[in-house]
Structure 1
C-alpha cells in the first residue's frame, strides 16, 4: 500500500473545477491507476481512499491511500505546477510505502489523527415509515458519531480523554445528557461542508441529486486493536468514501517541552 500527497494549485481554473466537484475529483483520483476502473467495486480488501485537507485558502492537499503507486501526471497538468514538476526527481507529488508505517502500530500506542467523515444516523419520522439515513448537523452529535463505543471498538482505537487540568468545563461536560461530549475528549470537529451535486451529467433533476455533509475531525487516539486499526486506515471509516470521506491519517504525538534550567 502507498500514501500519496499532492498539493493543489488553487489559482488554476482546473483546480477550482476539481475542488467544486467531488465526482470529478473522484474520477481524477481513480484515473491515477491504469489497472483500476472507476466502476470497480470494493470487496473488503485494500481500496483507493482520498481526502482533501483545506489548511488555508491557498494551501490545499490531496491525500490518497491506495494498493499501488498512483500516476498523478494529469492532476499536475490540471491542478498543479507543471513547470516545477518537469524534473523526474520532482514529479509534483510524493508517494511512500504505507506498510512500514502500518507495521509500527501496536496496541496502547498514542497518535494524533485527522479524519474527514460523513457522520450519519437513521431516523424514522413517524410510526410505520421506513428509516431514512440523515446527516448529523451539530458538532455535539457529529462528535457523538465518532465517539460511539461500538464504532471505535470495530475501528481499533479509542479517542483519549483530556487530563483534568486541561478541561475548561467542570468534569469536561456541557450537559449530563451529553456527558460523553463537551470538553472531555481530545477531539475537535471543524470544516463542515454540505455537498450537493447531480448523480450524472445526463440526469440533473433535483430529485436525483446526491447530498453529503462532511466534517473533519482532529484529535488524539489510543490503539486498542492494531490489526483493526490497520484495516481502518486501509479501508476507511464510515460512508461516502467515493466523495473524499473515510481516510484517517496518523501523526506522532509531540513530545512535551523540556523544563528549563
Structure 2
C-alpha cells in the first residue's frame, strides 16, 4: 500500500474544474495508474480525499495498492515547473499499529441511513444533515472499524449528550454533479471528522485504513488517515 500527497494549484482553471466535480476528480485519480488496481474480495482499494488547511492550501490525499504517477495532475492542476507529489510506503506504518495506541485522525465521509416512509415502499438512502446524527453515524461504526473515539474528561464536556468525545465536525458540504452519460444530477453530502482515537483492533483498523469507511468511496469519501497526537 502507498500513501500519496499532492498540493493542488487552485489558481488554475484545470484545478477548479476537478475540484468542482467528484466525478472528474475520480477519473483523474484512477488515471494515475497504468493498470487500475482492482479491489478483490473486499480487499484494499484506491481511496482519496481533498484536504484544506488554515493556510488556504488544498491537497489531494491518496491511498492505493499500487504506486501512482500524478504527472498528468501536476500538468493540469499543479505547478508544472516546480510541482511534485510525495508518495510513501504505507506498509511499515500499518504493521506497527497496536491496541491501545492513540492517534489523531481525519475522515471525510458520506453519512447516510436507509429510510422507508410508508409500508411497502422500498428503502431509500438519505443523508444525515444534523450534527448530532452525523456524530452518531461515526460512533456506530467505530467498534467494527477497529477503534474508539476518545472521550473527553467529564470536566471538559460542554453538554451531557452533545460534546462527550474528542471530535470536531467541519467542512460539511452538499455536492451536485453528473455522472458520465447521465442527465440527472447526483447529490452527495460530505462531512469531515477530525478527532482522536484509540486502537482497539489493529487488524480491523488496518482494513478501515486501506478499504475505507462508509459509502461514496469513489467520490472522495471513506479515507481515514492517522497522525501523531
User: How high is the TM-score relative to the length of structure 2?
Assistant: 0.96
- Structure 2 CA distance for aligned equivalents of residues 17 and 47 of structure 1: 25
1:214 aligns with 2:204: no
| Runs of 4 or more consecutive aligned structure 1 residues displaced over 4 Å after TM superposition | none
Flag structure 2 segments of 5+ consecutive residues without an equivalent. none
| Higher relative contact order, structure no. (Cα contacts within 8 Å, ≥ 6 residues apart) | 2
User: How high is the TM-score relative to the length of structure 1?
Assistant: 0.85
Residue 203 of structure 1 deviates from its aligned partner by 2.6
Quote the RMSD (CA, aligned, Å). Answer: 1.4
Q: Please give the secondary structure, in 2, of the residue aligned with 1:185.
A: coil
Q: 2:93 maps to what in 1? A: 101
Tell whether the 8 Å contact from 1:10 to 1:58 is kept in structure 2 after alignment. Answer: no
Q: 1:72-221 counterparts in 2 under 5 A?
A: 72-85=70-83, 92-148=84-140, 151-169=141-159, 173=160, 179=161, 182-200=162-180, 202-204=181-183, 206=184, 209-221=185-197
- Structure 2 CA distance for aligned equivalents of residues 42 and 137 of structure 1: 32
Q: 2:48 maps to what in 1? A: 50
- Structure 1 CA distance for aligned equivalents of residues 36 and 121 of structure 2: 40
Query: Which structure is larger by alpha-carbon Rg, 1 or 2?
Result: 1
Question: Which string of whole-angstrom CA distances, capped at 9 and with x for unpartnered residues, describes residues 13-71 of structure 1?
Answer: 0000000010110000000010117xx56531111000001224741110000011110
Q: 2:2 maps to what in 1? A: 2
